[in-house]
A and B are shown apart, each in its own frame.
Chain A
Amino acid sequence: MTQMILTKALYTVISLAVITNYALILIGTMARIRAKVQGRVGQPFYQPYIDIVKSNAKRTSISHGVMFFLGPVFRLAGGLGTYLFIPAIFGSVIFSNFSFSGDLLLMMYFIFFGQLGMALGAGESGHPHSAIGVARGLAQMTAFELPFVLSVVALAAQYGTLSITEIVAAQQGGFTHWAAFTNPLAMIAGMIAFLGMSGANPFSVVVAPQEIPIGPPTEMQSSFLGMLQTNRAIFNGAKMVLFMNLFWGGAAHENLLVAILIMVVKTFLIYLYVTIVGASFPRFKTEQSIRFFLGVPTVIGIAAVVLQMV
C-alpha cells in the first residue's frame, strides 16, 4: 500500500515536472515566435525561467492579509488540479495522473476554481485595479464557459461518457476517428472558447499591462508573482493537454517517448494556433468579447449538442 502511494507520488512529480518545464519552454518559444512576426530578435526561450528565479529571489515582499497569501495558492491549486485530473498520455501509467470516470466534470470545475481564488486574493490587496481586473476576468470567463461547456456536453453525449480516458480511447485508430472530424461543430466551439481561456490577444484585456495595470495581479510581487508565473505555465500546459485529449485524439503510442513527442507536437500546434490568432487580431474590450462568445460560438455549440440529441 505504502509502496503504491509512493510510486504514484513519484509518477505525479515526474508528470508535473515534464509539463511545467515543457510549458515554460513553450511560452518562451512562442514569445520568440511572436517577436519574429514583429521583426524583432525577441527574448531567449528560457526567459520565463529567469523571470521566475528573479521573482523568487526578491529580498522583500508585502502581504495584505491571509487571503492575499491564499490567492496565489488557490490559483496554483487550480492549475495543479486541472492538470492532475487529466490523463496526459493515453495508456501511460506515469502520465495517467489521477484520471477517473468523472474527471471531465471535476476538471471543468478546476478551471473556474483558480480564477475565483485569485479574485479573493486580489480583492484583499485593496487595489482598485485588481478589483476591476477580476471583474473583467470573471465576466469574460463566464462568457467563454458557455461555448466550452456546450462543446464538452456534445462530446459527452457523442461518446456517452464523462471520462477523458474513455473519450481518448474512442478516438484511437487514425485521425478520422478524432473528435475534431467526427464532431466538427463541437471542435469549432471548443477551440474558439480555448482562445478566451488562454487569454491571448483578442481576449487579453484582463491582464494586459497597457490596460488597467496588469489586472488582478497588480499587487502581487516577489514570490507571490513567482507562484503565479509557475502556475501560468502549468495551467497553460494542462489546458493544451485537455484540448488535445478532447478533440485531437490525445497522445497514444506503445513507446512512451514517441507518445511524449506526439503530445509535444500536438500541443505545440494548438498553442501556435493561439499565437497566430493573437498576433493577427487586436484586443477586444470586455463587453465586445462577451458579445462575441455569446454569439456565433454559442450557436455553434448549441447546434453541436442538438445534432447529438437527434
Chain B
Amino acid sequence: MATADTQTRRYQEPGAPGNAAVVNPDPRTVTGPAGGTGQGDVQTVDGQLRILTEELKLANADLRSEDRGNFCDHPPEVIKPFRAFWENFLNWARSESLWILGFGTGCGAIELRPLMTSRFDMYQYGIQGRPTPRQSSVFVIGGYASVKTMKRIVRSYEQMQGPKFVLGLGSCTINGGMYWDSYNTVNRLDHYIPVDVYIAGCMPRPEALLAGFVKLKEMIKRGECEGANRYAENFEWYKANQKRIIKNWDMPDYNW
C-alpha cells in the first residue's frame, strides 16, 4: 500500500472487486428480523487521509509533531490461530469466560445491569463485567452510537487485547434505529468496528441479550469470531470510515 499518490487513493469496501481482502466485515449474524444484507458501496474518501507511511508505519498525521514519539506507530497485525485441537480448547475457554467492558455507550446499557442481578445471573454463563478495556474481551455497544461516543468506542476497542468480540445491542447499531436520520448517530456500526453478533430490538430485553451471548459463545467455539484479525486486515478501510465522521481526530491512529 506504499503509494506516494495519496490524492487519488480510493478506499473500497473489503470484498468488493478490486480489493484483495476476503473477509467481509458485514455482520455474520443478525438475530431478529431487522438488519438485512449490506451491499457495500465503494467509498471514495478525501485524499487528506493518510494512515500508513511508505514504511508501513502509522502516520499519526493528526497528532502534533512533538507528540508523535509518545504513541505507537505499528498498525495492528493479523495473528493466526493455532492448530485445530489446541485452538478449539482455547476457544472453549474464551467462550466460557466472557468479560464485558463496562462502558455503556447508549440507552441500551440499561439492559446490561439486570444481567448482574439474581434474576438473570450472567455469572453462571461465565460472563463478568470488567471496568478496564485491557482485561475485557466483549464490547457491548449499548444502542445508538453518536459520533462523539464513536470516538471513545474506537479508542476503547483498540485498547482491548485480542481476540475480542463486539455485540451490537439494539436496532440503532444495525441501521440507526429510530435515530437513522439524525445528524449525529452512526447508522452502521460494522463500518467502524467489526461486529460479531447483532441483537435486534428497541430495546431488546435482558433475555435477548443473554440469547445474543449464547449465540456469541457458539460462534467463538466454532472459531468464527476473528473480529480483531478482520480489523487488522481491513485496517485502512475501517480507519478511513472512522476518520470520515470523527472530524477532530486528535488521537493516534491506533491506540493498541
| Chain A contacts to B: CB under 8 angstroms | 31, 35, 38-44, 47, 50-51, 53-55, 57-62, 129, 209-210, 213-214, 217-222, 225
Contacts and interface: CB of A to CB of B under 8 A. Distances in A.
Interface of B: 79, 89-90, 93-94, 96-97, 102, 118, 121, 123-124, 126, 129-132, 134-135, 137, 161-163, 228, 256
Contacts of B135: 55, 214, 217, 220-221, 225
Contacts of A221: 134-135, 161
Given A59-B79, A60-B79, A50 B129 contact: no
Given A62-B161, A62-B256, A209-B129, A53 B93 contact: yes
Contacts of B163: 58-59
Q: Is the interface of B mostly helix, strand, loop or mixed?
A: loop
Nearest to B93: A53
Contact of A54 (B79, B94, B131, B162): B94
A31 B126 CA distance: 12
A215 to B, nearest CB: 10
B134 A219 contact: yes
A38 B118 contact: yes
Contacts of A42: 121, 123-124
Contacts of A225: 135
A43 B118 contact: no
Q: Which of B93, B130, B256 has the most CB of A within 10 A?
A: B93
Contacts of B129: 209
Contact of B228 (A40, A59, A62, A217): A59
Given A47-B126, A54-B137, A222-B161, A209 B96 contact: no
Contacts of B93: 50, 53-54, 57
B232 to A, nearest CB: 10
Contact of B124 (A41, A50, A213, A219): A41
Contacts of A44: 124, 126
A41 B121 contact: yes
Contacts of A35: 121, 123-124
8 contacts: A39-B118, A41-B124, A43-B123, A51-B97, A58-B137, A60-B228, A60-B256, A62-B134
Contacts of A40: 118, 121, 123-124
A288 B73 CA distance: 45
Contacts of B130: 209, 214
Given A42-B123, A58-B161, A62-B256, A50 B96 contact: yes
> What are the 6 closest A-B residue pairs judged by CB atoms, nearest first?
A213-B131, A221-B134, A53-B93, A54-B97, A57-B90, A41-B124
B110 to A, nearest CB: 17
Nearest to B137: A54
A53 B90 contact: yes
Of the listed residues A50, A51, A53, A59, the one surrounded by the most CB atoms of chain B closer than 10 A to its CB is A59
A217 B130 CA distance: 12
A154 B228 CA distance: 57
Contacts of B118: 38-40
Nearest to B232: A60
A210 B129 CA distance: 10
Nearest to B91: A57
Given A62-B256, A209-B130, 4 more contacts: A53-B89, A60-B79, A60-B228, A214-B130
Contact of B97 (A50, A210, A214, A222): A50
Contacts of B126: 43-44, 47, 50
Nearest to A224: B134
Contacts of B89: 53
A58 B97 contact: no
Nearest to B129: A209
A22 B130 CA distance: 26
Contacts of A61: 161
A216 to B, nearest CB: 11
Contacts of B90: 53, 57
A58 B134 CA distance: 11
Nearest to A219: B134
A62 B161 CA distance: 8
